[in-house]
Amino acid sequence: MAETQQMKKFKTPSKGTPKAKHPISIDHHIAPQTPQSATPSAINLRRSHRLTAAFPEHRPAISSFNTHQSAAKTRKIFENPPLVLPTEISITPASPPPVESRKKRKFHEKSAEKSKDSRNVKYKHAADRKVKKKVYYKKVVYDGGEFSAGHDVYVKRRSDASSDDEDPEVEECRVCFKPAGRRVLIECDDCLNGFHLKCLKPPLKAVPDGDWVCCYCVARKNGEVMEFPEPQAGKKRARTAREKLLSSDLWAARIESLWKEVDGTYWFRARWYIIPEETAVGRQPHNLRRELYRTNDFADVEMESIIRHCFVMSPREFANAADGGDDVFLCEYEYEVQWHSFKRIAEIDNNENDGERVVDNDADWNSCDEFDSGSDFDSEEEAAYEDKKRNRLSQLSSLRPVAANSRKGQIFGLQKIGAKKIPENLRSRKQTDLEKAKSTLLLATLPKSLPCRDREMIEITTFIKGAICDEQCLGRCLYVHGVPGTGKTMSVLAVMRNLKSEVDAGSIRPYCFVEINGLKLASPENIYSVIYEGLTGHRVGWKKALNLLNARFSDENKCRKDTRPCILLIDELDLLVTRNQAVLYNILDWPTRPNSKLIVIGIANTMDLPEKLLPRISSRMGIQRLCFGPYNFQQLQEIISSRLKGIDAFEKVAIEFASRKVAAVSGDARRALEICRRAAEFLQNRKVMAGMADVEAAIKEMFQAPHIQLAMAVSSFCANNGETFPGYDTLLKVGCKLGECRLLLCESGTRHKLQKLQLNYPNDDVTFALKDSKELPWLAKYI
């Protein structure tokens, strides 16, 4: 660990520059070498190290790009990308449309979104006629740099900013403004500035162990004013791209795809990163200086606005890239722009592993004291990362020594290998009506419209709007109940989706939305840490989270204007009932505090949950209830036919039959959909519409109790016992088999002949099952 840290500290003098190592890259170029790039001592090893480590194949391209960049930006060299057709482009620079500031661009995006569809259609037409079309590339060499999907780049924020051009490749000492040279630059962990050991006061002899904060930052923390030395007159201090990014003068983006437009310009689809200051909660004490958030916001950007590469890494990579250079960033969370909530990227990437991992984590959180939670790491590397992060934290803030996101950066298994998505064009065979019907009837399919729950949805909408539209935003609580499969969760989520579009349109104030399913919690208390993580993107143990949430929702002294209203959706609320019901008490008590701005929506099946709770809790729960009754058959019919709209696969009678059957038993929409889907599967091979018979068969399969089916099956097994008596051993065997199927209840033990038997199911059922068996017509006589 100490080693890695030292590595990070050192901006060791270069043992040889990349340029010297790879003279070929220079040969590639028409561009004149600039004096800056020619001085070998100027190259900062940090960056070069990084390059060799991460992108060995890019080394020539990027270093050449560096040389080029420092030259006047008039010439552009386009190398032929190895994978695509040669596209030689004239040296005259293509005039790119100016990159507007982000807000503007976003706005355009939105307004252009509608027209996008039509544009796509246009392209499709173009493709049909085999004329010019968008060409997608895996890798593009543009402006000297080699870019491919998945790379992270700096993107210009303004087109006219002259400061974008001056991009110092070399980090200078903050005091003497000389490049590192042969001497060691040490990086402050707070302000990220580099310093010569000798320039410091008092000068350091060696790089210290552990984290180090420069004297300026120390002074600032103590409340003194200590200015950085001004550069000599006439010489302006050039800011590095990293500095510009962190002061939001640049963007960072991830390239999702690259293509050439019809007019020859290169574009890429960018997934934006944002710095913590730009999130709704702002920079928080646990954020590292180099931390970025990945957003779910995309935009198409011309490649002209790319400046160069940067490297955004997962926490684990970041921990190993201690000497990675100046353009290394850490990204651990994805920030949802609409909801202002955070999700861990690792969780998004391997969702299926998620459950068990959370359980593991939570177990740790519960079992061990917070002070020794660092002791059970799986590998040393993680421990190193952990310690480092902790050290940094302890300096950045006066938080407790345990880092918040301490359990991050783990890599799990090999899921990313092999599970490749099947490309769309391989599956583009036209679906038949039946297949379409089957896919829309799947429970996972999100229906386009939600019929039959209009009244409830209006009620939920007015509830939420009434709460968040007001200035003061009074806390509220709504309890939604109803039998399973009646669209409770779906309606609430649909309402939230509608509201989101209204937020986008600007007619509603933005708010946070945290969704929790009680079943997914390892223990009820964990809900605190889940809520806190959803609100701030910061994972802490539940005890701490409880304290922090208590402070957040009850703070009346500090009139924090910036807090948004927060909507908390808790599915399966009844699982939060603990022995003393403290969890529910706390959650339902927050909305009754002044200035809490919290709206709680609880969903559960039980109708009388509030009555079952302690009176002090039901008193805080308020009286707002919303009941989702079971669907009747007209509603089920409407739901199915609205899903099947435009698909000609079912007879109308068949749908009615299915919905009547389900409505008579449970009124569960999921079940009705399943029956119809099963019916569609039954007529797989026939080219007809699904009719009554198929639905009947599906219903039989679903509703008929398994024991009847089993008895039928077993009867055929017994059939060969027909007339001749097979003897006791066979009888015993048959008896055991029936016992295993739980048709018979057998006494356990080895008493064989004396074993007592009992029929597990009512006689009538057995009679019914055996009545029509064809092999044993004589059986009916006995019964």
Among the listed residues 595, 635, 637, 715, the single contact to other proteins using CB under 8 A = 595
Nearest to 410 by CA among 370, 372, 376: 376
Among the listed residues 64, 193, 536, 586, the single contact to other proteins using CB under 8 A = 586
Q: Does residue 708 belong to the site contacting other proteins (CB under 8 A)?
A: yes
Q: How far apart are CA 430 and CA 30, in angstroms?
A: 51
Q: Does residue 470 belong to the site contacting other proteins (CB under 8 A)?
A: yes
Among the listed residues 150, 629, 722, 726, the single contact to other proteins using CB under 8 A = 629
Q: How far apart are CA 215 and CA 198, in angstroms?
A: 13
* Cβ-based burial of 358 (10 A; exposed 0-12, middle 13-18, buried ≥19): middle
Q: Residue 41: beta bridge partners?
A: none
Nearest to 597 by CA among 472, 411, 750: 472
Question: Among residues 296 and 550, whose Cβ is nearest to other proteins?
Answer: 550
Q: How far apart are CA 603 and CA 496, in angstroms?
A: 15
CB of 690 to other proteins, least distance (A): 22
Among the listed residues 106, 400, 593, 737, the single contact to other proteins using CB under 8 A = 593
* Cβ-based burial of 210 (10 A; exposed 0-12, middle 13-18, buried ≥19): middle
Question: Among residues 62 and 584, whose Cβ is nearest to other proteins?
Answer: 584
Contact indicator for 637, 451 with CB cutoff of 8 Å: no
Q: Does residue 97 belong to the site contacting other proteins (CB under 8 A)?
A: no
Q: Does residue 400 belong to the site contacting other proteins (CB under 8 A)?
A: no
Question: Among residues 474 and 741, whose Cβ is nearest to other proteins?
Answer: 474
Give residues 416-435 in contact with other proteins (rule: CB under 8 A).
Answer: none
Contact indicator for 377, 406 with CB cutoff of 8 Å: no
Of 109-117, 155-163, 579-587, 771-779, the window that binds other proteins (rule: CB under 8 A) is 579-587
Contact indicator for 362, 345 with CB cutoff of 8 Å: no
Residue with token string 């190193």: 384
Q: Does residue 622 belong to the site contacting other proteins (CB under 8 A)?
A: yes
CB of 452 to other proteins, least distance (A): 14
Q: How far apart are CA 24 and CA 119, in angstroms?
A: 43
Among the listed residues 483, 683, 692, 734, the single contact to other proteins using CB under 8 A = 483
Between CA 226 and CA 540, with CA 292 as vertex, the angle to 5 degrees is: 90
Of 223-231, 580-588, 640-648, 651-659, the window that binds other proteins (rule: CB under 8 A) is 580-588
Contact indicator for 484, 668 with CB cutoff of 8 Å: yes
Among the listed residues 351, 431, 445, 624, the single contact to other proteins using CB under 8 A = 624
Q: Which amino acid is at 262?
A: V
SS3 527: helix
Give residues 136-165 in contact with other proteins (rule: CB under 8 A).
Answer: none
SS3 for 385-438 is HHHHHHHHHHHHCCCCCCCCCCCCCCCCCCCCCCCCCCCHHHHCCCCCHHHHHH
Q: Does residue 522 belong to the site contacting other proteins (CB under 8 A)?
A: no
Q: Does residue 392 belong to the site contacting other proteins (CB under 8 A)?
A: no
CB of 474 to other proteins, least distance (A): 5
* Cβ-based burial of 154 (10 A; exposed 0-12, middle 13-18, buried ≥19): buried
Bond into 82 cis (ω within 30) = no
Contact indicator for 764, 771 with CB cutoff of 8 Å: no
CB of 550 to other proteins, least distance (A): 5
Q: Does residue 585 belong to the site contacting other proteins (CB under 8 A)?
A: yes
Question: Among residues 624 and 721, whose Cβ is nearest to other proteins?
Answer: 624
Give residues 599-618 in contact with other proteins (rule: CB under 8 A).
Answer: 605-608, 611, 615-616
Question: Among residues 99 and 769, whose Cβ is nearest to other proteins?
Answer: 769
CB of 320 to other proteins, least distance (A): 36
Question: Among residues 354 and 765, whose Cβ is nearest to other proteins?
Answer: 765
Q: Does residue 80 belong to the site contacting other proteins (CB under 8 A)?
A: no
Tokens encoding 349: 């990437």
Distances (CA, A) of 717 to 594, 711, 714, 725: 71, 10, 5, 15
Question: Among residues 123 and 761, whose Cβ is nearest to other proteins?
Answer: 761
Q: Does residue 372 belong to the site contacting other proteins (CB under 8 A)?
A: no
Nearest to 1 by CA among 294, 379, 450: 379
Q: How far apart are CA 203 and CA 212, in angstroms?
A: 13
Q: How far apart are CA 452 and CA 450, in angstroms?
A: 7
Nearest to 394 by CA among 378, 409, 406: 406
Q: Does residue 371 belong to the site contacting other proteins (CB under 8 A)?
A: no
Q: Does residue 401 belong to the site contacting other proteins (CB under 8 A)?
A: no
Residue 263: CB atoms within 10 Å: 7
Residues in the chain: 783
Quick one: CA dihedral 281, 283, 287, 291, positive or negative?
A: positive
Q: How far apart are CA 209 and CA 391, in angstroms?
A: 11
Of 245-253, 289-297, 434-442, 594-602, the window that binds other proteins (rule: CB under 8 A) is 594-602
Q: How far apart are CA 230 and CA 600, in angstroms?
A: 54
Question: Among residues 245 and 477, whose Cβ is nearest to other proteins?
Answer: 477
Tokens encoding 222: 């103590």
Among the listed residues 474, 683, 697, 718, the single contact to other proteins using CB under 8 A = 474
Question: Among residues 264 and 762, whose Cβ is nearest to other proteins?
Answer: 762
Q: Does residue 712 belong to the site contacting other proteins (CB under 8 A)?
A: no
Contact indicator for 412, 350 with CB cutoff of 8 Å: yes
Among the listed residues 127, 705, 713, 759, the single contact to other proteins using CB under 8 A = 705
Q: Does residue 706 belong to the site contacting other proteins (CB under 8 A)?
A: yes
Give the DSSP H/E element, type plus range, for residue 686. Answer: none
Return phi, psi of residue 605, to 5°: -85, -35
CB of 360 to other proteins, least distance (A): 21
Question: Among residues 287 and 715, whose Cβ is nearest to other proteins?
Answer: 715
Question: Among residues 184 and 672, whose Cβ is nearest to other proteins?
Answer: 672
Give residues 532-561 in contact with other proteins (rule: CB under 8 A).
Answer: 542-543, 546-547, 550
Total residues at interface with other proteins (CB under 8 A)? 55
Among the listed residues 16, 98, 282, 762, the single contact to other proteins using CB under 8 A = 762
CB of 472 to other proteins, least distance (A): 6
Of 10-18, 39-47, 194-202, 704-712, the window that binds other proteins (rule: CB under 8 A) is 704-712
CB of 470 to other proteins, least distance (A): 6
Question: Among residues 106 and 660, whose Cβ is nearest to other proteins?
Answer: 660
Query: For residue 776, how far is the Cα from the chain centroid?
Result: 60
CB of 48 to other proteins, least distance (A): 50
CB of 524 to other proteins, least distance (A): 13
Q: Does residue 578 belong to the site contacting other proteins (CB under 8 A)?
A: no
Give residues 654-683 in contact with other proteins (rule: CB under 8 A).
Answer: 663-667
Q: How far apart are CA 146 and CA 78, in angstroms?
A: 10
Question: Among residues 245 and 535, whose Cβ is nearest to other proteins?
Answer: 535
Of 117-125, 297-305, 434-442, 699-707, the window that binds other proteins (rule: CB under 8 A) is 699-707
Question: Among residues 314 and 632, whose Cβ is nearest to other proteins?
Answer: 632
Residue with token string 């904060």: 213
CB of 635 to other proteins, least distance (A): 11
SS3 for 715-780 is HHHHHHHCCCCCCHHHHHHHHHHHHHCCCEEECCCCCHHHCCEEECCCHHHHHHHHHCCCCCCCHH
Contact indicator for 727, 695 with CB cutoff of 8 Å: no
Which residues here bind other proteins, judged by CB under 8 A?
466, 470-472, 474-475, 483-484, 542-543, 546-547, 550, 580, 582, 585-586, 589, 591-596, 605-608, 611, 615-616, 619-620, 622-625, 627, 629-630, 663-667, 703-708, 761-762, 764-765
